[in-house]
Amino acid sequence: MSVNETNSNQSPDARVTARLADWIVSVSGEDIPPVVRREGLRTFVNWTGCAVGGARHETVDCAIAATLPFSGKPTSTVLGRGERVDALHAAFLNGISSHVLDFDDTHLKTIIHPAGPVASALLALAETRPMSGSDLLNALIVGVEVECRIGNSVYPDHYDRGWHITGTAGVFGAAAAVGKAIGLSVQQMRWALGIAASQSAGLREMFGTMTKSFHPGRAAQNGAFAALLAEANFDSSEQAIEASRGFANVMSDKQDYSEIVSDLGIRWEAGLNSYKPFACGIVIHPTIDGCLQLRDEIGDRVNHISSVKLKTHPLVLELTGKKTPATGLEGKFSIYHAAACALLRGDGAPTAFTDEVVNLAKIVELRDKVSALTNPDCHEASVDIDIVFDDGSQISKHVERTIGSSDVPLSDEQINQKFTTQAALVIGDEATTKLLACCWGLESLADAAGIAVVSVPKDNAPTKAN
Amino acid sequence: MSVNETNSNQSPDARVTARLADWIVSVSGEDIPPVVRREGLRTFVNWTGCAVGGARHETVDCAIAATLPFSGKPTSTVLGRGERVDALHAAFLNGISSHVLDFDDTHLKTIIHPAGPVASALLALAETRPMSGSDLLNALIVGVEVECRIGNSVYPDHYDRGWHITGTAGVFGAAAAVGKAIGLSVQQMRWALGIAASQSAGLREMFGTMTKSFHPGRAAQNGAFAALLAEANFDSSEQAIEASRGFANVMSDKQDYSEIVSDLGIRWEAGLNSYKPFACGIVIHPTIDGCLQLRDEIGDRVNHISSVKLKTHPLVLELTGKKTPATGLEGKFSIYHAAACALLRGDGAPTAFTDEVVNLAKIVELRDKVSALTNPDCHEASVDIDIVFDDGSQISKHVERTIGSSDVPLSDEQINQKFTTQAALVIGDEATTKLLACCWGLESLADAAGIAVVSVPKDNAPTKAN
């Protein structure tokens, strides 16, 4: 396997992996436009909050139990917890925790959740292979760019076929990011993408089980390992993406390689990332958004509601039509609970979907007053809400595009609120405030590993959260 | 995810994973027929020899360099070497070394190399989770059975599409074997197969690179980890193989589930394993077989050969037609070198394919006297060899089916010779003799881990081999 830059017998498609690797190695921080850089920072802040927020989930507990007996030198932090493990296992565990609440980020064109595989790999490695915050951010943006471009090249067929694209594309993102951070040569970067391709995996059948969040965790770990193997000159194919028996042909009927190699450094997929405002099925989001706005407008009258009528996209009732949820998890699939909880408690965060809250008498009482009709003409990101009060007065709200959709991105302040709400439950207010400030200051850190350390509160005995 | 044994709404295909898991958990050593048990032992012996034989390959060196910084408690042995690493990394490294010489075992119906993923996982784990030799053998046979049945269900489409089936099916075998060895419940075994399914990976594009042998290594490691996660109650789909977005539908156009669930415990795929007699492309095997027989018949006359004429299957020249190989690796693709080396040195082992041997004057001289013609009617496992001596006398040999093919399986003695030839190069004669005896005595071992320990010679400074 030797680098051959100028083989004129190759078709343009024959150098997809090579051209991508060349770009990954050559791109510098200055090549990243400020607006993309800023989105990268928002991606990092949001990811850190989600990783801490999910850190005490049962899924992470089980994964840690299986992992600890095999962990190497404890260089790296399980975010928001006390355990330290080797960097590859930390990448795995933080990738799980950042996705387990279904509350992370979304590249809307491919439904990839980009940060989990990439940021989890980078921060874990930063604790043993020091890198500045600025270098970590550069590598994060490059990794996200790579996974989303590879995702674009095969989406939607690849996803429709049943691949969990966050796992299958994510492993390339992690390999690219870690490879960038540790300074692989062009030759090694091509191998890293090849070794990543041979670990591209994750089935949609796993949705609804712990194995769903396993996918970004394993993608982070496997992608990082691909880069480390390549660094040790473990070789691989240099056409792993485009070869006839490579990633795109084997795992998809669609292959659009221009999505991968065209306008590299000009068109930035990493600038298109979005952040989930609520910790539940995305089809409920317009209703929560509207109810939160109404809550502000009606004040104490929330205690005198006679009925709440929703007109929604048909998919909403198909996916989230549970009338009488009994558990927090079921609450994530009940538009009625979500509406009542948003109105009464102003909450769409993980705290809104606990066993306790789902069974509160006041919530149940209002939930039973909520009804929903579907309207085929309703956009998925829209809803109409009509509230009638006990005195017969009414108020209505039309949500044209919900917060968190591409038209209404979360503001920095909203990202902060999301971060604080979930992280404080796990590591407390003080540590949360400090961590959040630390995340926004990523680029000023001489040693990015500081972020991981700050995520663990001093007393090391965080509150148990759902 | 709860176990539901009697859901009558499910079609027969809806319980493939569950039925397979039930069988894995319930099958006992007494259920395995003696002939299958014996084949399992031969599989183990052959695998150990290959793992030791490949242990000093550059591929293993690179993998170890990348792995050591992340290894956990050094419980487990890299076979044939001095390093000790955690069990999951040992599974990975031994899986690589057992396959890297392309000299291991083959389930001919699917071209799966069954032992690499399964035995590598089991023996590494046995060093930290003690198991008897008999229990290890039971688990090995069960694991091989599972991977070959799953392979059968999707072969050939799955393989033709570009999946390296030793990796994709192997991960199920490793999960089943380790799950059996550590005593998973039925519920946990179903999850283990699910977590395995979400790690099923490996592309044929990697053939010819180090990433080829990476596949069985990673399958061993990932399958073992799947079982360990399930043991920690990390849950997963219970229909991972047969679901619409599960393994078989996503990764193949062919799904024949009867291959997986029919006649479990009656029809044994694990009894069909075969062992490669020579360390090179399988199409050369008939020629080496015939030349070895002729060498015995002609004695000293081998030094007075005027010409060697081969009539072979057309594929032989297409794949292995190198007239003047210059390196050991090229020698593996030269029917001329292979014939000369078999005649002069009686060798088709890894020692026949070193840089030194390929360039020996006597070998080159005879190699140049070898010619080959193709015959479309010739079976792939056949060859005709005509030798003319300097005095004009002749001798001919027709090989109807080469050794190592399903019709002419390797005898125990031939497995021993194969083992000895390759292992002695790495760990020396004394350790090889001891290890071989230890392997055949597997069933009598109270602690199977002894095998791994014996594979490392006392001086811990093995000879460097190609």
Is A162's CB within 8 Å of B65's CB?
Answer: no
Who has greater pLDDT, A347 or A354? Answer: A347
Domain membership of residue B377 (yes or no) is yes
Mean pLDDT of chain A: 93
Average pLDDT, integer, range A370-388: 94
Interface residue A203 vs chain B (CB under 8 A): yes
Quick one: A160 and A220 in the same domain? Answer: yes
Domain membership of residue A82 (yes or no) is yes
Closest CA to B29 of B125, B132, B170, B150: B132
CA distance B355 to B372: 23
Quick one: A51 and A121 in the same domain? Answer: yes
What is the number of structural domains in chain B?
2
Who has greater pLDDT, B360 or B349? Answer: B360
Average pLDDT, integer, range A51-61: 96
Is A236's CB within 8 Å of B209's CB?
Answer: yes
Domain membership of residue B423 (yes or no) is no
Domain membership of residue B455 (yes or no) is no
Measure B420 CA to nearest chain A CA, in Å: 28
Residue B11: pLDDT band by 50, 70, 90 thresholds? low
| pLDDT tens digits, one per residue of A384-395 | 999 999 999 999
Is B237's CB within 8 Å of A206's CB?
Answer: yes
Q: Of A240, A260, A275, which residue is a domain's last?
A: A275
Quick one: B167 and B43 in the same domain? Answer: yes
Quick one: B228 and B286 in the same domain? Answer: no
CA distance A17 to A189: 9
CA atoms within 13 A on the CB side of A343: 32
Average pLDDT, integer, range B437-451: 98
Residues of B in contact with A211 (CB under 8 A): 194-195, 198, 234-237
**Per-residue model confidence (pLDDT) at position B253:** 97
Mean pLDDT of chain B: 93
Domain membership of residue A124 (yes or no) is yes
Q: Compute CA A291 distance to the chain's CA centroid, rounded to the nearest angstrom.
A: 25
Q: Which residue of B has its CA nearest to A192?
A: B211
CA distance B143 to B147: 6
Interface residue B72 vs chain A (CB under 8 A): yes
Quick one: B193 and B233 in the same domain? Answer: yes
- Residue B316 pLDDT > 90, yes or no? no
Quick one: A329 and A241 in the same domain? Answer: no
Measure A66 CA to nearest chain B CA, in Å: 5
Residues of A in contact with B73 (CB under 8 A): 69-70
Domain membership of residue B463 (yes or no) is no
- Residue A1 pLDDT > 50, yes or no? no
**Tokens linked to B44:** 């183990």
Using only the alpha carbons of chain B, give its radius of gyration.
Answer: 23
Give the burial class of A198: count Cβ atoms within 10 A of its Cβ; 0-12 exposed, 13-18 middle, 19 or more buried. Answer: buried
Q: Which of residues 323-342 of A touch B (CB under 8 A)?
A: none
Quick one: A389 and A330 in the same domain? Answer: yes
Q: Of B275, B310, B335, which residue is a domain's last?
A: B275
Quick one: A257 and A232 in the same domain? Answer: yes
Q: Of A377, A399, A421, which residue is a domain's last?
A: A399
Token pair 């060895």 is at which residue? B181
- Residue B6 pLDDT > 70, yes or no? no
Domain membership of residue B411 (yes or no) is no
Quick one: B205 and B87 in the same domain? Answer: yes
| DSSP-derived pairing of the beta strands B84-85 and B76-77 | antiparallel
**Per-residue model confidence (pLDDT) at position A4:** 35
Average pLDDT, integer, range B446-459: 92
Least confident piece of the model among A114-128, A309-323, B433-447? A309-323
**Tokens linked to B46:** 């052959």
Domain membership of residue A239 (yes or no) is yes
**Per-residue model confidence (pLDDT) at position B322:** 86
Measure B28 CA to nearest chain A CA, in Å: 26
Average pLDDT, integer, range B198-211: 93
Is B218's CB within 8 Å of A240's CB?
Answer: no
Q: Which amino acid would we find at residue B340?
A: A
Q: Which residue of B has its CA nearest to A203?
A: B198
| pLDDT tens digits, one per residue of A400-415 | 999 998 889 999 999 9
* Torsion A65-A71-A77-A83 (CA) sign: positive
Interface residue B215 vs chain A (CB under 8 A): yes
| pLDDT tens digits, one per residue of A243-272 | 999 999 999 999 999 999 999 999 999 999
CA distance A327 to B173: 37
- Residue B310 pLDDT > 50, yes or no? yes
| DSSP-derived pairing of the beta strands A273-275 and A105-107 | antiparallel
| pLDDT tens digits, one per residue of B384-404 | 999 999 999 999 999 999 999
Q: Compute CA A130 distance to the chain's CA centroid, rounded to the nearest angstrom.
A: 24
Output the domain CATH number for residue B361. 3.30.1330.120
Quick one: B186 and B330 in the same domain? Answer: no
Quick one: B252 and B307 in the same domain? Answer: no
For residue B181, the cross-strand partners are: none
pTM: 0.90
Domain that holds residue A242: 12-275
E strands, A297-393, are 305-312, 370-374, 383-389
Q: Which of residues 225-254 of B touch A (CB under 8 A)?
A: 225, 228-229, 231-237, 239-240, 243-247, 249-250
**Per-residue model confidence (pLDDT) at position B288:** 97
Measure A419 CA to nearest chain B CA, in Å: 27
Measure B2 CA to nearest chain A CA, in Å: 11
- Give the residue from A211, A242, A244 with the most B CB atoms within 10 Å of its CB, the best one to mutate: A211
**Cross-chain CB nearest to A205 (options B199, B211, B246):** B246
Measure B167 CA to nearest chain A CA, in Å: 9
Output the domain CATH number for residue B125. 1.10.4100.10
Residues of B in contact with A198 (CB under 8 A): 164, 167, 201-203, 206, 211, 214-215, 218
Average pLDDT, integer, range B74-86: 97
Q: Which residue of A has its CA nearest to B96?
A: A234
**Per-residue model confidence (pLDDT) at position B14:** 74
Average pLDDT, integer, range B116-139: 98
Q: Which of residues 385-414 of B touch A (CB under 8 A)?
A: none
Quick one: B252 and B320 in the same domain? Answer: no
Measure B239 CA to nearest chain A CA, in Å: 8
